[in-house]
Amino acid sequence: MARIAILDDYQGVAREFGDWDSLDAEVVVFREPLEDIEQLAPFDVIMAMRERTPFPRERLERLPNLKLLVTTGMGNAAIDTDAARMLGITVAGTGGTPTHTAELTWALILALARHIPAEDRAVREGGWQHTVGLELAGLTLGVIGLGRLGSQVARIGEAFGMEVIAWSQNLDTPLTKEELLRRSDVVTIHVRLSDRTRGMIGAAELAQMKPTALLINTSRGPIVDETALLAALESGEIAGAGLDVYDIEPLPADHPLRSAPNTVLTPHIGYVTGASYTAFYTDAVEDIAAFLRGEPVRVINR
């Protein structure tokens, strides 16, 4: 009987969203981040939730029984797929819903613009109307990365009556990144993490933004230099930041971002919806069943 490990099921919902009982296998769920990868040595199959647990070569080499590694989505920068192929490990992916992160992006923008967390807290404490909100209509939305998610965010911005401008390293446009940062009232990031995008927004870029501007990052933490961002928030160089992603996840309890001013923080929940989890876990079960039959599907590292 195959042994399957489901990793990083923080909410304890994996069994709810996938028919794991349909598999002729022993299924073990890990709810907390793993401190010792050796705990996974006995498993034939591992299901990884996004990049919550990285699998570089050195980790894969310590998993002698691993034959199938399933990741949610059809790409995972935290898995060394080439090393997996060389070690005889198949990496398979899943589908997912296309709108979840775009929706959370707008939740963060609106929460910042209308000071929703602060006003909610004030009402619960007996207060009333402490802040003055920012009206988005007529302002400029700067979208860094105009792929599937960036395009969805841009369309919603237009619906709010915003002027939308965009830049990416792959766009053929006369607009430069510097011009976008100078002109935008809200800057939102929608690019993949890579060597080219790591640290894309640092101290110099933050200094180019308006002091009234908001920065939103729902892509990956290291795209924004956290030290520079903290300094910009503390000094008032920018007006605020909405963050769903961080350099280290889960965010350490003593991390300075937890007490940074003018921020709305969410715990990497851009993709955490019922529709996404249904797609992730249903497809993962299908991937495993097909692999156990000798007919692998959705293979990423052929």
Kindly report, residue by residue over 22-64, the tens digit of the pLDDT. 999 999 999 999 989 999 999 999 999 999 999 999 999 999 9
Question: What's the CA gap between 16 and 193, in Å, rounded?
Answer: 31
Q: Which two tokens stand for residue 86?
A: 């060389």
Name the CA dihedral angle for 181, 220, 160, 123, rounded to a multiple of 10 degrees.
Answer: -110
- Report the DSSP pairing between strands 2-6 and 25-29: parallel
pLDDT at 172: 83
Question: What's the CA gap between 2 and 41, in Å, rounded?
Answer: 13
Question: What's the CA gap between 239 and 177, in Å, rounded?
Answer: 19
Q: What is the mean pLDDT of residues 83-109?
A: 93
* CA-based radius of gyration for the chain: 21
Please give the backbone phi and psi of residue 191, each rounded to the nearest 5 degrees, phi first.
-125, 155
- Choose, from 50, 115, 220, 298, the residue flagged as catalytic: 220
CB 7 within 8 A of CB 46: yes
pLDDT at 297: 97
Q: What is the mean pLDDT of residues 228-253?
A: 97
Cα dist. 117→197, 209, 281, 301 in Å? 30, 24, 32, 43
Res. 176 pLDDT band, cuts 50 70 90:
very high
Q: What is the mean pLDDT of residues 264-279?
A: 95
Q: Which two tokens stand for residue 214?
A: 């908001």
Identify the CATH class of 2-97+273-292. Answer: alpha beta
Q: In this predicted model, what pLDDT tens digit does every residue of 213-226 receive, in sequence order? A: 999 999 999 999 99
pLDDT at 173: 79
Q: What is the mean pLDDT of residues 149-159?
A: 97
CB 185 within 8 A of CB 209: no
Tracing tokens 């969410």 back to the chain, one arrives at 266
Question: What's the CA gap between 186 and 83, in Å, rounded?
Answer: 40
Is 295 in the active site? no
- Choose, from 59, 100, 190, 268, the residue flagged as catalytic: 268
100-265: CATH topology is Rossmann fold (3.40.50)
Q: Which two tokens stand for residue 108?
A: 């963060």
Q: What is the mean pLDDT of residues 6-34?
A: 96
Helices assigned H by DSSP within the chain: 14-17, 57-60, 81-86, 100-113, 116-124, 148-159, 177-183, 203-208, 226-235, 274-292
Res. 197 pLDDT band, cuts 50 70 90:
very high
Q: What angle do CA 88, 194, 269 make, to 5 degrees?
A: 90
- pLDDT above 70 covers a percentage of the chain that reads 99
For the chain, the distance separating the N- and C-terminal CA atoms, rounded to the nearest angstrom, is 25
Question: What's the CA gap between 222 and 200, in Å, rounded?
Answer: 8
pLDDT at 97 exceeding the cut of 90: no
Q: Which part of the chain has CATH 3.40.50.720?
A: 2-97+273-292, 100-265
- HSE (CB half, 13 Å, CA atoms) of 143? 25
- Choose, from 85, 183, 249, 255, the residue flagged as catalytic: 249
Which three-class secondary structure state does DSSP give residue 205? helix
Q: What is the mean pLDDT of residues 147-156?
A: 96
Res. 98 pLDDT band, cuts 50 70 90:
low
Count CB neighbours of 231 within 10 A. 13
pLDDT at 99 exceeding the cut of 80: no
Is 100 in the active site? no
Question: What's the CA gap between 93 and 71, in Å, rounded?
Answer: 5
Q: Per DSSP, what are the bridge partners of residue 141?
A: 164, 186
Q: What is the mean pLDDT of residues 91-115?
A: 93
Question: What's the CA gap between 222 and 54, in Å, rounded?
Answer: 15
Q: What is the mean pLDDT of residues 97-102?
A: 82
Q: Which two tokens stand for residue 204?
A: 């110099």
Is 249 in the active site? yes
Q: Which two tokens stand for residue 42?
A: 């006995």
